């Protein structure tokens, strides 16, 4: 089994908050010696911010990826989606996804009971730290436990990215909701899916999303499969800290890094 340089969480202009073209992305990744990338553009059905709820124009997205594959033959380029789950619209989201022919479904959650923690005053206001973090964990569990048809679970601990807490209180760790995280992790393991290691956490919490304590528990419970993603929205962060995160997961005993071709998983050594 070989190792592979891959980044499985990436945004371009096809996401409302992307600040790079597909060509910018592929050119910089090829220059950084990356072998495989997967674009994971946002869908955010029912997000209260109208600017967030703008899905890619799928035929245009697929055509640009097709062109990039021709231009960068040595870079494997996958077409994926970051599913911004919303319990109120979930049946429709599942139906819409089934109609798309994508390589990778990254199950994500940005809305916690209708509020995106991105709006930190709104989300954290009037709650203790424990309440805010537990509410996030429970919403994430509610989301994941209602899905089976996904490939990897994105950035567990997302709420901490915009936390009003600082220092050691900022990161959302396993001990903040151990019972809830166990449910989440057991569900992922039972289905043979992947846990994402998202390196955008380093800048905000000094650790990954999911936090290393949650990754450690996943491995303890028998979890073996991971995807790694920078969650980059601009050229400066493409493949940022992926090797650092792989070193960390390897040291914890993590085994496999997954890639996906039309939803079919291939495992690589981390
Ligand atoms: Zn996200
Ligand atoms: Zn993302």
What is the 3-class SS of 44-98, one letter each residue?
CCCCCCCCCCCCCCHHHHHHHHHHHHHHCCCCEEEEEEEEECCHHHHHHHHHHHH
Q: Which ligand is nearest to the CA of 156?
A: 1
Confidence at 112, pLDDT banded by 50, 70, 90: very high
The rounded Å distance from CA 84 to ligand 2 centre is 9
The rounded Å distance from CA 76 to ligand 1 centre is 22
The rounded Å distance from CA 8 to ligand 2 centre is 10
* Euclidean distance between CA atoms 80 and 28, whole angstroms: 19
* CATH class label, 6-269: alpha beta
Cβ count within 10 A of residue 3: 12
Cβ count within 10 A of residue 145: 12
Of the candidates 81, 78, 115, 73, the one whose C-alpha atom is nearest the C-alpha of residue 98 is 81
Q: Which ligand is nearest to the CA of 38?
A: 2
pLDDT one-digit tens code per residue, 38-93: 999 999 999 999 889 999 999 999 999 999 999 999 999 999 999 999 999 999 99
Q: Does the pLDDT at position 1 exceed 90?
A: no
Q: Which ligand is nearest to the CA of 12?
A: 2
- Residue 194 pairs in a beta bridge with 152
Rounded to an integer, the average pLDDT of 170-194 is 98
Q: How confident is the model at residue 50, as a pLDDT?
A: 86
The rounded Å distance from CA 9 to ligand 2 centre is 6
pLDDT one-digit tens code per residue, 116-174: 999 999 999 999 999 999 999 999 999 999 999 999 999 999 999 999 999 999 999 99
Q: How confident is the model at residue 101, as a pLDDT?
A: 95
The rounded Å distance from CA 40 to ligand 2 centre is 7
Q: Which ligand is nearest to the CA of 118?
A: 1
Domain boundaries along the sequence of the chain: 6-269
The rounded Å distance from CA 7 to ligand 1 centre is 14
* Euclidean distance between CA atoms 224 and 256, whole angstroms: 6
For 4, the token pair is 């592979």
The rounded Å distance from CA 1 to ligand 1 centre is 30
* Euclidean distance between CA atoms 111 and 53, whole angstroms: 12
DSSP assigned state of 254:
-
CA angle, residues 59, 101, 140, in degrees to nearest 5: 105
Q: Which ligand is nearest to the CA of 8?
A: 2
DSSP assigned state of 131:
H
pLDDT one-digit tens code per residue, 229-253: 999 999 999 999 999 999 999 999 9
Q: Which ligand is nearest to the CA of 39?
A: 2
Residues sharing a CB contact under 8 Å with residue 119, sequence separation 6 or more, in sequence order: 162
Q: Which ligand is nearest to the CA of 111?
A: 1
Q: Which ligand is nearest to the CA of 229?
A: 2
The rounded Å distance from CA 51 to ligand 2 centre is 15
DSSP assigned state of 158:
G
Q: Could you tell me the pTM of the whole model? A: 0.98
Q: Which ligand is nearest to the CA of 108?
A: 1
Cα dist from 230 to 37, 115, 199, whole Å: 11, 24, 5
8 Å CB contact between 174 and 213: yes
* Euclidean distance between CA atoms 177 and 184, whole angstroms: 11
Q: Max CA-CA distance within the chain?
A: 53
The rounded Å distance from CA 253 to ligand 1 centre is 26
The rounded Å distance from CA 43 to ligand 1 centre is 10
* Euclidean distance between CA atoms 269 and 76, whole angstroms: 17
């Amino acid at each position: 089994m070989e190792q592979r340089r891959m980044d499985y969480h990436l945004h371009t202009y096809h996401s409302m908050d992307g600040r790079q073209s597909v060509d910018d992305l592929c050119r910089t990744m090829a220059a950084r010696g990356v072998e495989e990338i997967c674009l994971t553009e946002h869908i955010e059905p029912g997000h209260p911010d109208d600017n967030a709820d703008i899905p890619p124009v799928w035929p245009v997205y697929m055509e640009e990826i097709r062109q990039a594959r021709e231009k960068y033959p040595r870079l494997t380029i996958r077409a994926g989606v970051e599913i911004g789950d919303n319990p109120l619209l979930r049946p429709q989201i599942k139906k819409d996804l089934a109609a798309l022919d994508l390589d990778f479904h990254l199950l994500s959650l940005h809305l916690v009971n209708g509020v995106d923690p991105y709006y930190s005053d709104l989300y954290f206001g009037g709650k203790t730290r424990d309440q805010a973090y537990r509410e996030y964990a429970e919403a994430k569990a509610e989301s994941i436990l209602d899905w089976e048809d996904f490939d990897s679970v994105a950035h567990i601990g997302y709420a901490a990215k915009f936390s009003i807490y600082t220092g050691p209180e900022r990161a959302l760790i396993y001990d903040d909701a151990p019972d809830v995280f166990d449910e989440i992790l057991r569900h992922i393991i039972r289905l043979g899916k992947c846990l994402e290691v998202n390196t955008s956490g380093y800048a905000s919490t000094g650790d990954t999303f999911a936090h290393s304590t949650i990754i450690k528990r996943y491995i303890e419970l028998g979890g073996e499969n991971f995807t790694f993603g920078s969650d980059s929205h601009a050229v400066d962060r493409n493949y940022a800290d992926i090797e650092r995160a792989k070193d960390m997961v390897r040291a914890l005993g993590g085994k496999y890094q997954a890639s996906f071709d039309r939803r079919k998983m291939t495992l690589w050594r981390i």
